[in-house]
Amino acid sequence: MSTIQAAVMTEPGHIELRQFERPQIAPTELLLKIECTGICGSDKHMYAGHMALKFPLVPGHELVGTVAELGAEATEHLAIVGGPIKEGDRVTTTPSSQACGRCHYCLHMPQRPTLCANRFVYGFVSSELAPAPRGGFSEYLHLTPNSWVFKIPDDLSSERAVLTEPAAVATRAVERALGPGIPHIGEGLGLDKSVLVLGAGPIGQLVIAVLEHIGTDLIIAADLSPSRLELARAMGAHQIVNVGQGSLEERQEEVQSMTQGVGPDTVIETAGVPVAFKESLDLVRRGGMVVEVGHFTDPGEVGIHPHIICFKDLDIRGMWAYPPIQFKTALSFLKNTRAPLDRFITHRLGLDRIGEGIDITGSEGSMKVVIEP
């Protein structure tokens, strides 16, 4: 029996390489040989102990791979988008399987499949449950029936395609701000609108690139890091605000001076720091919208005055991941955007250096760290 390697997080703060048996797929399944997997902010939060999960587990959910083995009946049991697939094809896959179709949310709100109570999400599941490993920081990934498989277009490089999952988050964040927009009466996102993106990490940068892609007239990026703000400009931000300088009142004035004295129409919060949510409420104009993207994990709480939500007549929209078909939108965006995404991946490391990769993620001078098993 041949073995494969995967990185196992045994508990928060500890990750190590372990051997697993090479997965044996059923006729209804697919075996993916992983080419590269990005380290996500949520992997870092998991490592920091911000997520209630059952350890040990193999993290990783932003991946590109090639079809190593395709079961004889697999194409009838997988959700395949982008054309028929065969062994050797490059594909990516959503972390979650198809929604169950039977729970309260599937029956009542099928347009929001991430609310399904029975979703399986690889990269977040115990490696003690068969089949293991079920995460992207591994040489192989076993795709069971009802998994989603997206064929990567030939003219889209793996370096770009490995950004599909974060680009799905970013495109959904912008779509949350877009709909149901009534731009001519001043509601929602549209032409001649201003958007402040709070946080210029990987998700914030991609949100900026998506806003630029759809033609937003004023994009303001805010972050603590000068190098991130500089990259934000290259991604499409027209104005930048360093949140590490000055008081909140000074920042309010600075942002208002960019937005006809009122504040941005929309704030998209991607920093995932509780105080950034409070600041979103403080900075958005009256009658505006806040889209909260950053708090996919729970790093703590912040005090707010709920009065401000009434006084400003605000719309606040949350976001729990994205429907799987968002990967199609993300791939289309990655193929067509003019943003300099080649500057996006700052580090490439082997699987044996994953601990180092998690430490680098989020540090000054880093953007996306990619593991090549």
The DSSP output letter for 138 is B
The site for Zn ion (CB under 5 A) is made up of 40, 99-100, 103, 106, 116, 118, 165
Rounded CA separation 118/173 (Å): 24
Rounded CA separation 10/122 (Å): 16
Phi/psi of residue 209, each to 5°? -65, -35
Distance of CA 22 to the CA centre of its chain: 29
Buried b (16+ CB within 10 A) or exposed e, 35-62: bbbbbbbbbbbbbeebeeeeebbbbbbb
Q: Tokens for 224?
A: 């603590």
Query: Min. distance of Cβ 371 from Zn ion in angstroms?
Result: 13
- For the chain, helix, strand, coil in percent to 5 are 30, 25, 45
Query: Min. distance of Cβ 331 from Zn ion in angstroms?
Result: 15
CB nearer to Zn ion: give 15 or 220: 15
Beta strands in 133-176 (DSSP E): 140-143, 148-151
Query: Min. distance of Cβ 146 from Zn ion in angstroms?
Result: 12
Query: Min. distance of Cβ 3 from Zn ion in angstroms?
Result: 28
Distance of CA 167 to the CA centre of its chain: 6
Query: Min. distance of Cβ 253 from Zn ion in angstroms?
Result: 35
Query: Min. distance of Cβ 257 from Zn ion in angstroms?
Result: 35
Query: Min. distance of Cβ 95 from Zn ion in angstroms?
Result: 8
- 336 sits in which H/E element: helix 326-336
Q: Tokens for 255?
A: 């942002």
Distance of CA 242 to the CA centre of its chain: 23
CB nearer to Zn ion: give 165 or 279: 165
